[in-house]
């Protein structure tokens, strides 16, 4: 422990802003991600109302709002459990941290499972990636979001694994619960935007 802290101290002799460099880097990265999803969402918005000159199924004809509302709620709750994990770590309760981490990852998996179910349904009902540009845009947007959630789950499980292995999570170690938390909240916020713009607004 002392060794690692020592090594970090050399590198971060001082931080001009007072914010941990890794945390700042995560913020900067997430600001870029907003533009990434912004472009994907505008892409969907452009195509969602178009009349195509051929027989095709549009995403909005297939939305199952109650179902997606539940999976959105699940994802929102995962932000709560993430905060609880963070709080538990701040209080030094390693067991509770692990529990909430696992809960967050589980909720994320439920969300991904819901998305898998939704995609399967849509494809069975005849709307695939190549049906029309609006369908392409829908699958691409929600697919990239799902990929982000998946990466988040991998990170959460890594934290869980490290914690189980080392008996505790230390702030100084390469992966930091706070960074994963920032990322996880970002993915949730983006989903709120997607759910509102893509699903709820006709």
Partner 1 sequence: MATTASPARTIFRRPASTTGLWGWLTTADHKKIGIMYGYTAFVFFLLGGIEALLLRVQLAVPENTFLSAAEYNAMFTMHGTTMIFLFVMPASAAFFNYLLPLMIGARDVAYPRMNAVSFWIFLFGGLFLYSSFFFGTTDAPIGGNLAEEVGRLGSLPNGGWFGYAPNSGARFSTGTVMDYWAIGLQILGVASLISAINFIVTIFNMRAKGMTMLRMPVFVWMTFVVAFLLLFSLPIIAVALFMITFDRQFGTLFFDATAGGDPILWQHFFWLFGHPEVYILILPAMGIVSEVLPTFSRKPLFGYPAVVFAGAAIGFMGFGVWAHHMFSSGVTPITQAAFGLSTMAIAIPTGIKIFNWLGTIWGGRIKLNTPMLFAIGFVAMFVIGGLSGVTHSIVPADWQQTDTYYIVAHFHYVLFGGAIFGLFSGMYYWFPKLTGRMYNERLGKLHFWVFFVGFNLTFGPMHWLGLNGMVRRTWVYAEEAGLGPWNMAVTVGAFIIALGVLIFMFNWSWSRRRGPVAGMDPWDARTLEWTIPSPSPEHNFGVAPVVTALDDFWAKKYDSDHEGRAVRRSSADAMIAEMEQTGLNPPAPIHLPAPSYYPILVGAGIPFVGYGIIYHTSPFGIPLIVIGMLVIVGSFIGWGVEPLEEVHDDHDDDHDELPPSADGRAGESNADGTVETDGDEEDA
Which stretches of the chain bind partner 1, using CB under 8 A?
1, 3-4, 6-8, 10-17, 19, 21, 24-25, 28-29, 31-33, 35-36, 38-40, 43, 46-47, 50, 52-54, 129-130, 132-133, 136-137, 140, 144, 151, 154-155, 157-159, 161-162, 164-168, 170, 173-175, 179-180
C-beta closer to partner 1: residue 71 or 145: 145
Least distance to partner 1, CB of residue 163, Å: 8
Least distance to partner 1, CB of residue 45, Å: 11
Least distance to partner 1, CB of residue 174, Å: 5
C-beta closer to partner 1: residue 72 or 169: 169
Q: How big is the chain by its Cα radius of gyration, in Å?
A: 20
Distance from chain centroid for Cα 149: 4
C-beta closer to partner 1: residue 73 or 144: 144
C-beta closer to partner 1: residue 48 or 191: 48
**In this structure, what token pair is assigned to residue 199?**
């699903």
C-beta closer to partner 1: residue 43 or 70: 43
Least distance to partner 1, CB of residue 52, Å: 4
Least distance to partner 1, CB of residue 169, Å: 10
């Amino acid at each position: 422990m002392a060794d690692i802290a020592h090594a970090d101290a050399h590198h971060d002799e001082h931080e001009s802003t007072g914010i941990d460099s890794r945390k700042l880097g995560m913020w900067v990265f997430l600001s870029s991600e907003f533009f990434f999803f912004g472009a994907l969402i505008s892409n969907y918005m452009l195509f969602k109302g178009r009349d195509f000159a051929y027989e095709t199924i549009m995403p909005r004809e297939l939305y199952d709002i109650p179902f997606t509302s539940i999976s959105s709620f699940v994802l929102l709750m995962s932000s709560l459990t993430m905060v609880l994990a963070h709080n538990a770590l701040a209080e030094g309760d390693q067991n509770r941290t692990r529990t909430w981490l696992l809960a967050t990852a589980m909720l994320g998996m439920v969300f991904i499972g819901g998305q898998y179910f939704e995609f399967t349904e849509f494809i069975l009902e005849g709307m695939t990636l190549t049906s029309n540009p609006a369908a392409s845009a829908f699958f691409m947007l929600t697919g990239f979001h799902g990929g982000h959630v998946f990466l988040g789950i991998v990170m959460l499980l890594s934290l869980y694994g490290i914690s189980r292995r080392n008996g505790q999570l230390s702030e100084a170690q390469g992966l930091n619960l706070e960074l994963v938390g920032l990322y996880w909240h970002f993915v949730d916020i983006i989903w709120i935007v997607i759910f509102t713009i893509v699903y709820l607004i006709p």
